[in-house]
């Protein structure tokens, strides 16, 4: 298809498609003349992935470039491609000068993950995020050891294995698996957060409402 048809098929404007081509997010089409090129279904899929990372994942263009490069790197297995996408989604944890308190919280987070028996990369940014949460809760006097946070881990694992992992198409093109992971992680995370706040309101109404 021509660029105008690619635009119609994907809902992405021609100037935006040209921008993605210049940035290397979208591979060049097959050149058919000096001024025109032909595009295929792979381009439509790639545009969908870019839009999902941009609009749902709210990633900056530079991070999208890294995810797209991992999708295209055939030497990476799918777990690593998904990892690159997921790590790009992790919110930046404020750089802590690793003082004694931080080191202790980070060690506690690592122990928690070991005790869960989960397979997590030593460099996973979520280890730092968990350490920061442990630190914040501890400062507030809210219990944050492995026992206190265990229900959250159990619930999370159950949702992922029973409801989310099934929505990821592992057999299809890598784009589609990454897209489904990003959408699942972000949107299901949002749903869970909304439900928690609604449950808080309902429980509070029952206990305290007049």
Binding positions for its own copies, 9-48, rule CB under 8 A: none
Q: Which stretch binds its own copies (CB under 8 A): 1-9, 26-34, 36-44, 199-207?
A: 199-207
User: Torsion-angle region of residue 209: left (phi > 0), alpha (psi -120 to 50) or beta?
Assistant: beta
Structure tokens at 59: 């990633």
Among the listed residues 136, 145, 147, 169, the single contact to its own copies using CB under 8 A: 136
Position 92 contacts its own copies (CB under 8 A) = no
User: Does residue 161 bind its own copies (CB under 8 A)?
Assistant: yes
Q: Could you give the CA distance from residue 43 to residue 36 in angstroms, rounded to a whole number? A: 15
| 95 near its own copies (CB under 8 A) | no
3-state DSSP assignment of residue 143: coil
Q: In this structure, are residues 177 and 170 in contact, taking their beta carbons and an 8 Å threshold?
A: yes
- Please tell me the distance from the alpha carbon of residue 172 to that of residue 161, in angstroms, as a whole number: 20
Task: Point out which residues bind its own copies (CB under 8 A).
Answer: 52, 56, 77-79, 82-83, 86, 89-90, 113, 116, 118-121, 124, 126, 129-130, 133, 136-137, 140, 142, 149, 151-153, 155-165, 167, 170, 181, 183-185, 187-210
């Amino acid at each position: 298809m021509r660029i105008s048809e690619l635009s119609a098929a994907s809902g992405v404007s021609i100037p935006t498609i040209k921008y993605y081509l210049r940035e290397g997010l979208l591979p060049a089409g097959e050149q058919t003349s000096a001024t025109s090129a032909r595009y295929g279904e792979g381009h439509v899929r790639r545009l969908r992935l870019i839009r999902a990372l941009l609009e749902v994942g709210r990633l900056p263009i530079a991070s999208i470039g890294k995810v797209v490069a991992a999708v295209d790197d055939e030497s990476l297995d799918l777990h690593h491609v998904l990892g690159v996408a997921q790590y790009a989604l992790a919110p930046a944890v404020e750089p802590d000068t690793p003082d004694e308190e931080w080191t202790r919280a980070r060690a506690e987070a690592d122990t928690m993950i070991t005790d869960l028996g989960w397979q997590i990369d030593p460099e996973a940014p979520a280890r730092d995020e968990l350490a920061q949460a442990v630190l914040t809760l501890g400062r507030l006097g809210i219990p944050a050891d492995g026992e206190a946070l265990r229900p959250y881990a159990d619930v999370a694992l159950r949702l992922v294995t029973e409801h989310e992992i099934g929505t990821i198409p592992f057999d299809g093109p890598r784009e589609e698996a990454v897209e489904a992971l990003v959408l699942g992680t972000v949107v299901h995370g949002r749903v869970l957060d909304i439900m928690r706040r609604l449950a808080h309101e309902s429980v509070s109404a029952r206990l305290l409402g007049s």
